[in-house]
């Protein structure tokens, strides 16, 4: 009877401790399962090549509007491409980046106080979205004011040269000012969007490069290849509307294409000393991921979807509205599906 009571006591004690044992089972040491450094390195080299090519193709595809008539910003096909790309970016923020940030910042490897008692990922994403709004507002306001001052100076010069031309020139200038303000707006959008994408791309590149498990890397290669292609389409659409000079377009496209491969290369270089389960790595990655999520979600909803879906051209065409909604759902759905593998 005494032995039975002791057994009961031990069982109850075990059940009480089981949750903490399971939690403690989430080791904070690097995982040793399936480590094969030579094979993993081959997969990483393949990842660098495929992601680089896919990103370059994706970002350059919408830029073909200068040579392909159907891909010009004023065409219906371009609206569908932008809607598809916005769905991809929105899904990236909600389905890929924000959950990763939450997982990092609620890891059992971090102290329960404060990381387990407050949703820091959500706070950082919200702060990042607000900061993006501030940058968006002040940058657009600054460019608009500087352009307005330049326009007024041009009007004064025209008046001094020939007063009879003032009325005609003023109307032309206002039309030009409106077009220029839209271009400046697209330039701000494209640069802020690239910032959000680049932060996330470098992080996932480092994570892949630091891993030495072929089983982990293999599915990520295909998933991240499509990931970069779709994100590149979204960024390329914004860049094409911004009407940058050819040199600036080339720099932005190259910068986007290289971010994840460079991140992988960095990961390979630090794989011997990098511990993704260390508190410092978890906090830094979690905060940067959350900030990136806030930027991407804001840009997708405000600067891409709201701007295009409220466009008079789309508002006046039921067929174009239906096509844009379908493209949006398709883009967000396909990108969400990739979360199964990455």
- Non-local CB neighbours of 73 within 8 Å, separated by 6+ positions: 65, 240, 241
DSSP states along 100-153: HHHHHHT-TTS-HHHHTTS-HHHHHHHHHHHHHHHHHHHHHHHHHHHHHHHHHH
Confidence of residue 30 (pLDDT cuts 50, 70, 90): low
Mean pLDDT, range 148-156, rounded to an integer: 60
Most confident of 4-8, 52-56, 238-242, 272-276: 52-56
Mean pLDDT taken over the chain: 79
Q: What is the mean pLDDT of residues 288-307?
A: 88
Residue 2: pLDDT over 60:
no
User: What pLDDT, on a 0 to 100 scale, did the predictor assign at position 22?
Assistant: 34
Residue length, the chain? 342
The mean pLDDT of 171-185, rounded to a whole number, is: 59
pLDDT by residue (tens digit) across 242-268? 888 889 889 999 999 999 999 999 989
Higher-pLDDT residue of 148 and 83 is: 83
Encoded tokens for 303: 């600067």
State the Cα–Cα distance between residues 166 and 228, nearest whole angstrom.
Answer: 50
User: Worst-scoring range by mean pLDDT, 215-219, 265-269, 277-281, 285-289?
Assistant: 215-219
Give the span between the Cα atoms of 103 and 250, in whole angstroms. 36
> What would the two tokens of residue 227 be?
């990931």
For residues 63 and 163, give the distance between their C-alpha atoms in angstroms, rounded to a whole number: 42
- Above pLDDT 70, what percent of the chain? 78
The reported pLDDT for the residue numbered 161 is: 55
Residue 169 has pLDDT above 50, yes or no: no
Q: What is the pLDDT of residue 324?
A: 93
- Report the pLDDT value the prediction gives residue 99, as an integer from 0 to 100: 92
Q: What is the pLDDT of residue 78?
A: 81
Question: How do residues 201-231 score in pLDDT, each as one tens digit?
Answer: 888 888 888 888 888 788 888 888 888 888 8
pLDDT band at 171 (very low <50, low <70, confident <90, very high): very low
Mean pLDDT to the nearest integer, 316-339: 91
């Amino acid at each position: 009877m005494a032995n039975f009571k002791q057994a009961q006591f031990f069982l109850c004690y075990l059940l009480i401790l089981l949750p903490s044992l399971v939690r403690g089972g989430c080791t904070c040491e690097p995982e040793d399962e399936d480590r094969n450094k030579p094979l993993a390195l081959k997969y990483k080299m393949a990842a660098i090549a495929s992601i680089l090519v896919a990103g370059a193709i994706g970002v350059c595809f919408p830029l073909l509007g200068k040579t392909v008539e159907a891909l010009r910003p004023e065409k219906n096909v371009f609206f569908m491409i932008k809607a598809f790309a916005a769905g991809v970016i929105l899904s990236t923020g909600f389905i890929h980046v924000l959950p990763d940030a939450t997982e990092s910042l609620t890891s059992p490897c971090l102290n329960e106080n404060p990381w387990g008692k407050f949703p820091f990922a959500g706070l950082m994403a919200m702060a990042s979205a607000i900061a993006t709004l501030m940058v968006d507002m002040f940058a657009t306001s600054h460019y608009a004011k500087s352009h307005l001052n330049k326009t007024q100076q041009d009007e004064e010069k025209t008046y001094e040269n020939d007063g009879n031309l003032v009325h005609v020139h003023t109307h032309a200038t206002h039309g030009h000012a409106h077009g220029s303000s839209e271009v400046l707006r697209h330039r701000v959008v494209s640069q802020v969007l690239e910032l959000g994408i680049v932060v996330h791309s470098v992080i996932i590149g480092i994570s892949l490069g630091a891993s030495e498990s072929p089983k982990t890397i293999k599915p990520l290669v295909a998933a991240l290849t499509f990931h970069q292609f779709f994100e590149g389409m979204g960024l390329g659409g914004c860049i094409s509307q911004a009407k940058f000079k050819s040199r600036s377009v080339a720099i932005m496209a190259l910068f986007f294409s290289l971010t994840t491969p460079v991140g992988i290369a960095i990961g390979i270089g630090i794989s011997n000393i990098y511990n993704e389960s260390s508190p410092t790595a978890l906090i830094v990655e979690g905060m940067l991921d959350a900030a990136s999520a806030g930027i991407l979600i804001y840009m997708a909803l405000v600067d891409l979807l709201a701007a295009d879906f409220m466009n008079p051209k789309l508002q006046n065409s039921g067929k174009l509205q239906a096509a844009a909604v379908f493209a949006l759902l398709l883009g967000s759905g396909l990108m969400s599906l990739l979360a199964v593998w990455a």
